[in-house]
Structure 1
Amino acid sequence: MSQLDPSHLQYDKRQYGHDHDWFQWSMMGQRPALVWPDHKPLAVWINVSLQHFPLNQKGQPFKPPFGMTMPYPDLRHFSLRDYGNRVGIYRFLKFFETNQIPVTYAVNGRLTQYSPQLIKRISQTDCEIVAHGWDMDHQHTSELTREQESESIVRTLSALRAATGKQINGWLSPARHQSWNTLSLLAEHGLTYCMDWVNDDLPYPVTLDTGSLTMLPLNAEIEDSFVMGSNLHSEDEWADQVTDAIDFLLREAQSTNAGRMLGISLHPWLTGQPHRIALAERVLNHLLARQDQIWLTTANQIVQAFNTQQT
């Protein structure tokens, strides 16, 4: 019987906690308690994704989630996605503005060309714009060279900044997919936070050699597209899951006397439909009824409040 070579048991990243240097390992209960403005226990931001799915998608190295699925031209799915940017988003806007809800929009750069009237409309509101990549078929993967990925990020940021007149601080990758270079490139190009990873209920700093970056986890498990589009749950079940998450995190924050955070992700092509908009409003009204305990704000404001408490 042959013996295993000792080299197979040697691993230079073997250590307590993580086996990487991206961020420090820590238990949530061992971290300094976060304090949100007015000592509210729970910080919540509404993230609305405004996306462009190309009709002639290449689907390389993988098809974008919720992209075209039928042989070209897949007009059925293309027009459904387009519905969100033509109709569904305006139902959201009406509710947001009537109730003075701060909103964070994650926007594909391609929409500045494809839907300039929509970009102009949201830019007139007191919202935050997050870069969401060029379009949903331009994934950031390790098949790209660093230069190619850098060019895609710069093109996206330039288009959004020129079209909206707003400073872009945050990033959400298409399909939340990254290469090994993505985070360092985001910091290199002046972005301060990223929402791709979903491994926490609080922000945390990421260690990079190109600058500072904060990870702001955007919950994927209660995202409307994940619950209804992937898990095939009903609209009512989605609304129940989101309100359950709100109530649980609020109780947890109160019992531990330490702030908690939740991002609620919406897609107008899905929850902006006439048979679903009432459920989206139910979730939002659940938040509004608890504003004495919930800090309803934008993603960037949460990052700033977090960073001011770091030593």
Structure 2
Amino acid sequence: MSLPETYLTYPHRAYGMDQKRYDWRTCGARPPIAWPQGRTLAAMIVVPIEHHMLNPTGKPFKHPGAMVTPYPDLRHYTTRDYGLRVGVFRILKELKTAGLKAVFPINAALLQRARPLVDAILADGHEIAAHGLDTDHIHWGGLDLDVETKWVAATRAAFTAAGLHPRVWMSPARQQSFATLDVIAAGGFDVCLDWEHDSVPVAMRTDAGMVSAVPLSSELDDRLLLGDRRQTEDEWVDQILEAARYMTSEAPRYGGQVLGFSLTPYIAGQPFRIAALRRLLGALADDGAVWSASASEIADAANAS
């Protein structure tokens, strides 16, 4: 039995990418970006501050850091809580010692629950980003537009009530619906950390104006490499530093690029990983080619370049 002729018909098929958020281009076709002070690599360190609950609905899927064993999964729950009570303060200390900036996407549910942590982040001069409501409010293709709009509005309202006015958005689980960019742009966010389709910021078209997608590499994520793939701490650090070296070597051909990676408090903040974290941050701080910057600073510099 042969397939009907309409089987291979796809109405969205077009030259390049099958979407209209950004134009298709190769890395050699984009205008080169010049970072401040003649630096060639922007290092964006992202520290997600996430609210994990004991009984997530798991719809449409469980967040990558969600509970695993039957309720109550105290082993995984308390590990995540440890990250917010202990691990993140170790990360803050090492960032300060190295003199590096970071971006802290925070779930709205934690703005009041963990206010001392929020104040510590602000006191050290780091950027705070909105990270949705919590890890159980995941944006996805089947989410009703009105519901998603309410979620983003509630997130914005929670930050405003906390005296915070972030420009940067990162979705829970870095998962979007087809409308998320439009909804967050309408909500006053003009920088997004969900996409990683390039090694430089990309201007994304939305119904409410441009949103700059600053790339954050999931391939260098500490939870993925140390937790899921069970690599050693030295392997993890070496991979990030090798990425930095290689991307710096590409600067004469492609211009400035972005090295974005995550430090998860309950992963990177463990005591037996602090020596590796210190080596990583120290190496980046000592590299004259590296510009340590927030997501909004990177977006603004790229737009002005």
- With the length of structure 1 as denominator, give the TM-score of the two structures: 0.93
- Give the Cα–Cα distance (whole angstroms) in 1 for the partners of residues 2 and 56 of structure 2: 51
Deviation for aligned residue 1:98: 3.0
- Give the Cα–Cα distance (whole angstroms) in 2 for the partners of residues 150 and 158 of structure 1: 12
In the alignment, structure 1 residue 295 sits paired with structure 2 residue 291: yes
After superposition, residues 17-36 of structure 1 pair within 5 angstroms as: 17-36=16-35
Deviation for aligned residue 1:103: 1.6
Deviation for aligned residue 1:175: 1.0
Give the secondary structure class of the aligned counterpart of 1:129: strand
The aligned counterpart of 1:305 is 301
The aligned counterpart of 1:267 is 264
Structure 1 unaligned segments of length 5 or more: list them.
Answer: none
The aligned counterpart of 1:99 is 98
- Give the Cα–Cα distance (whole angstroms) in 2 for the partners of residues 10 and 137 of structure 1: 36
The aligned counterpart of 1:49 is 48
The aligned counterpart of 1:108 is 107
- Give the Cα–Cα distance (whole angstroms) in 2 for the partners of residues 123 and 157 of structure 1: 18
Structure 2 unaligned segments of length 5 or more: list them.
Answer: none
The aligned counterpart of 1:283 is 280
- Give the Cα–Cα distance (whole angstroms) in 2 for the partners of residues 2 and 108 of structure 1: 51
The one-letter code sitting in structure 2 at the alignment partner of 1:256 is R
The aligned counterpart of 1:233 is 231
Contact 2:45–2:262 (CA under 8 A) maintained in structure 1: yes
The one-letter code sitting in structure 2 at the alignment partner of 1:260 is Q
- Give the Cα–Cα distance (whole angstroms) in 1 for the partners of residues 268 and 103 of structure 2: 16
Distance 1:14 1:264, change over 3 A: closer
- Give the Cα–Cα distance (whole angstroms) in 2 for the partners of residues 3 and 120 of structure 1: 61
Deviation for aligned residue 1:8: 4.7
Contact 1:41–1:257 (CA under 8 A) maintained in structure 2: no
The one-letter code sitting in structure 2 at the alignment partner of 1:62 is F
Deviation for aligned residue 1:61: 1.4
Contact 1:47–1:265 (CA under 8 A) maintained in structure 2: yes
Contact 2:35–2:291 (CA under 8 A) maintained in structure 1: yes
Distance 1:30 1:78, change over 3 A: same
- Give the Cα–Cα distance (whole angstroms) in 1 for the partners of residues 265 and 114 of structure 2: 14
Deviation for aligned residue 1:2: 6.2
Q: Alpha-carbon deviations, 1:20-47, whole Å to 9, x = none?
A: 2121000111111111112211111111
Contact 1:206–1:212 (CA under 8 A) maintained in structure 2: yes
Deviation for aligned residue 1:189: 0.6
Contact 1:53–1:67 (CA under 8 A) maintained in structure 2: yes
- Give the Cα–Cα distance (whole angstroms) in 1 for the partners of residues 282 and 216 of structure 2: 20
Contact 1:42–1:260 (CA under 8 A) maintained in structure 2: yes
- Of residues 296-305 and 37-46 in structure 1, the stretch that sits farther from structure 2 once superposed is 37-46
Distance 1:4 1:156, change over 3 A: closer
- Give the Cα–Cα distance (whole angstroms) in 2 for the partners of residues 54 and 105 of structure 1: 20
Give the secondary structure class of the aligned counterpart of 2:291: strand
The aligned counterpart of 1:177 is 175
- Give the Cα–Cα distance (whole angstroms) in 2 for the partners of residues 2 and 279 of structure 1: 58
- Give the Cα–Cα distance (whole angstroms) in 2 for the partners of residues 3 and 184 of structure 1: 37
Q: Across the two proteins, how many residue pairs are aligned to each other?
A: 305
Q: Alpha-carbon deviations, 1:189-242, whole Å to 9, x = none?
A: 110011111221111111112221111110110110111122121212111111
- Give the Cα–Cα distance (whole angstroms) in 2 for the partners of residues 178 and 56 of structure 1: 22
Give the secondary structure class of the aligned counterpart of 1:276: helix
The one-letter code sitting in structure 1 at the alignment partner of 2:125 is D
The aligned counterpart of 1:250 is 248
**Identical amino acids, percent of aligned pairs:** 39
Give the secondary structure class of the aligned counterpart of 2:244: helix
